[in-house]
Amino acid sequence: MKVLVIGAGGREHALAWRLSQSAGVEEVLVAPGNAGTALEAGMRNVDIAVDEFDALLNLVAQEKIGFTMVGPEVPLVAGIVDYFTQAGHACFGPSQAAAQLEGSKSFSKEFLARYDIPTAAYESFTDADKAKAFIHAQGVPIVIKADGLAAGKGVVVATSIQQAYSTVEAMLGEKALGDAGAKVVVEEFIAGEEATFICLCDGKTAIPFASSQDHKARDDGDTGPNTGGMGAYSPAPVIDAQMHQMVMQQVIEPTLAGMAADGIPYTGFLYAGLMITPQGQPKVIEFNCRFGDPEAQPVMMRLQSDLLEVCQKALAGELAGTQLAFDSRTAVGVVMAAGGYPQAYDQGEPISGLDKELFDTKVFHAGTAMHANEVVTNGGRVLCVVGLGSSVSNAQARAYERVDTIGWRNQYYRKDIGHRALNR
Ligand code: AMP
Ligand code: GLY
């Protein structure tokens, strides 16, 4: 069977790579893909953007594609799964209605409250003065979130009242984020350690992937500006067996049951971004309607199950009794970024060293492109280099050993990916 992966990032390279190893897969098409997916055996890029639904559907018909996997949230929230399904094509992901768990913070907060799923206390506002009065009453730190999709710019953890007020004024008053910020959620700040818990869902049943943790801050020691993620590792030791069970019982199972009871059963990858409080309580910080990036890179590195087969089971509503198998070793993924990211950075820099293979490592591409037979940088987060090892420190050493052999002008990466797991 031919399968299609929609997207262009490191997550899509990792998903496409695992799909290409599935027993039933003859070729993986990636739209639009990157240099990594262009060079991979059994893969082919097609130059169609993730929001060109008609062109994507034409491609599916022309190439007789049997299964489509959607990487990023934007096409999911815009309803690509409904569109493909109505055309009779197997497309893996949540419906537009179910994708609101990520697409609208007020939808997901209202859902969590109604089903008594642990999360931060909150209020929604469209009026800046009312939001400020609430902030004044609550005090800081406090968290302000744009209601809609804002490409990672929609969350501000305010540490002063002044910062909280100016965030509200920018979002609600000056419409700095457009429609995405026309409504805001103001919520309680929760202290603790973050972890990523992603499940494969068929509307009724959720099967967990191995846990993971990403590093959102740009610089070592979790300092500097917030980014899309500078690295990730799996498993996350903060999710021990007992915590795993609590997350399934208190978060995942009630979410699947609640969505089904509301008439919008959830099929696809469900990403729960959790805060594990010092008291050992998991709280939902956010839902995403897709796999994590860069979490997909270390998690796919460890996945041993046939990805196409389990996703087809999920689409058919037949996940009950399924288990996912993972390599018992730890995977650490280090993002190599363009210097300057997440602010301005250069593109088009030739990357050297990509051909130097190293056992138990894999380089997933994100912001790369082919330019006259050469791989060049084409984004802020350029590569994610994953190493496998029998311990966190072994996996980390392996990943950095490979990182050291790759380079381009003005590259940047964190030197401490995995530090929380190492310090345990
Ligand atoms: P998000 O874009 O929703 O993942 O939020 C970005 C980051 O803001 C999260 O990874 C957390 O570090 C932080 N954050 C979001 N909500 C809260 C909260 N209620 N309490 C503490 N930190 C939060
Ligand atoms: N790594 C965070 C995310 O995928 O949203």
CA angle 290, 291, 292 (to 5 degrees): 120
Going by alpha carbons, the residue nearest to atom 3 of ligand 1 is: 286
> Hey, what are 298's tokens?
């270390």
Query: Which of ligand 1's atoms lies nearest the C-alpha of 189?
Result: 20
Tell how far the Cα of 220 is from the centroid of ligand 1, in angstroms. Answer: 19
Pick from 196, 222, 227 the residue to mutate for probing ligand 2's pocket: most ligand atoms within 8 Å of its CB: 196
Q: What is the DSSP letter of 184?
A: E
> Using omega within 30 degrees of 0 as the cis cutoff, is the peptide bond preceding 342 cis?
yes
**213 CB under 6 A from ligand 2?**
no
Which pLDDT does position 33 carry in this prediction? 98
CA angle in degrees (0–180, nearest 5) for 33-44-21: 95
Cα 352 to ligand 2 centre (Å) = 28
Side chain identity, residue 66: G
Closest-lying ligand to the alpha carbon of 288? 2
Structure tokens at 110: 């209202």
The ligand that comes nearest to the alpha carbon of residue 194 is: 1
C-alpha torsion angle, residues 416, 327, 200, 101 (rounded to 10): -10
d(CA 27, CA 59): 14
Please state the φ and ψ torsions of residue 98, each to the nearest 5 degrees. Answer: -75, -30
Distance CA 113, CA 130 (A): 21
Provide Rg for the chain, Cα atoms: 21
The answer, yes or no, to whether any atom of ligand 2 lies below 6 A from the CB of 33, is: no
Tally of residues, the chain: 424
Residues 77 and 99: their CA atoms lie apart, in Å, by 5
Establish whether residue 71 lines the binding site of ligand 2, counting it when its CB lies within 6 angstroms of any ligand atom: no
Is the CB–ligand 2 distance for residue 214 below 6 Å?
Answer: yes
Q: Is the CB of 102 under 6 A from ligand 2?
A: no
What is d(CA 265, CA 23) in angstroms, rounded to the nearest whole number? 29
Contact 251, 284 (CB under 8 A): yes
Q: From first to last of its 424 residues, what are the pLDDT tens digits of the chain?
A: 999 999 999 999 999 999 999 999 999 999 999 999 999 999 999 999 999 999 999 999 999 999 999 999 999 999 999 999 999 999 999 999 999 999 999 999 999 999 999 999 899 999 999 999 999 999 999 999 988 888 777 888 999 999 999 999 988 878 878 788 788 999 999 999 999 999 999 999 999 999 999 999 999 999 998 898 999 999 999 999 999 999 999 999 999 999 999 999 999 999 999 999 999 999 999 999 999 999 999 999 999 999 999 999 999 999 999 999 999 999 999 999 999 999 999 999 999 999 999 999 999 999 999 999 999 999 999 999 999 999 999 999 999 999 999 999 999 999 999 998 888 8
Per-residue tokens: 368:
């790369």
Distance CA 299, CA 394 (A): 17
CB burial class (10 A; 0-12, 13-18, 19+) of residue 141?
middle
Listed in order, strand segments (DSSP E) in 12-58 are 27-32, 43-45
Q: Residue with the nearest Cα to atom 4 of ligand 2?
A: 292
Q: Are 152 and 216 in contact (CB under 8 A)?
A: no
CB–CB of 236/209 below 8 Å? no
- Distance from C-alpha of 235 to C-alpha of 33, rounded to nearest angstrom: 27
Q: Which residues pair with 91 in a beta bridge?
A: 68
Distances (CA, A) of 111 to 117, 251, 253, 256: 8, 12, 13, 11
The rounded distance, in Å, linking the Cα atoms of 136 and 318 is 50
Measuring CA to CA, which residue among 141, 102, 140, 144 is closest to residue 122?
Answer: 144
Q: Which ligand is nearest to the CA of 142?
A: 1
Query: CB–CB of 358/405 below 8 Å?
Result: yes
Cis before 265? omega within 30: no
Q: Whose CA is closest to atom 12 on ligand 1?
A: 194
**DSSP letters of 55-78?**
HHHHHHHHHTEEEEEE-SHHHHHT
Determine whether the shortest distance from the Cβ of 73 to ligand 2 is under 6 A.
Answer: no
